[in-house]
Amino acid sequence: GQQVMQIPQYQHVQEGEDFTTYCNSSTTLSNIQWYKQRPGGHPVFLIQLVKSGEVKKQKRLTFQFGEAKKNSSLHITATQTTDVGTYFCAGPGGGGSNYKLTFGKGTLLTVNP
């Protein structure tokens, strides 16, 4: 079945350093989505990428979708304490259904002020 893998599992940075998390799917994806979950909170949708090679930016966050549509990355420039949380990628499909998402296990980002 479809698998979505994320690395690293944990990342601790000093405030101001950059951060990147990587997402790899075992199958080609029609789109990839990114979510953020603050400690004690619920996942919140950040963005969806659809096109091969697509790059989107949200302020200090840069999202990329690979040319083969099997991998993606999230890069945060100059981290701030407000960036703390777990970042999940998710792709459609898995188990023969396109009605659901398969989530990666997430990357927990902690930021030392």
Partner 1 sequence: NAGVTQTPKFRVLKTGQSMTLLCAQDMNHEYMYWYRQDPGMGLRLIHYSVGEGTTAKGEVPDGYNVSRLKKQNFLLGLESAAPSQTSVYFCASSSQGASEQYFGPGTRLTVT
Asked if 92 touches partner 1 (CB under 8 A), the answer is yes
Asked if 39 touches partner 1 (CB under 8 A), the answer is no
Neighbours of 101 (CB within 10 A): 17
Binding mask 42-81 for partner 1 (x = CB under 8 A): xxxx--x---------------------------------
Angle 96-73-27 (CA atoms, 0-180°, nearest 5)?
20
- Candidates 39, 35, 69; CA nearest to 54 is 69
Which listed residue (9, 28, 58, 80) binds partner 1 by CB under 8 A?
9
Whether the Cβ atoms of residue 75 and residue 59 lie closer than 8 Å to each other: no
Query: Between the CA of residue 73 and those of 34, 45, 69, 98, 105, what are the distances in Å?
Result: 9, 15, 11, 22, 14
Which listed residue (28, 80, 81, 98) binds partner 1 by CB under 8 A?
98
Segment interacting with partner 1 (CB under 8 A) among 19-27, 35-43, 60-68, 71-79: 35-43
Binding site for partner 1 (CB under 8 A): 9, 30-31, 33, 35, 41-45, 48, 88, 92-95, 97-106
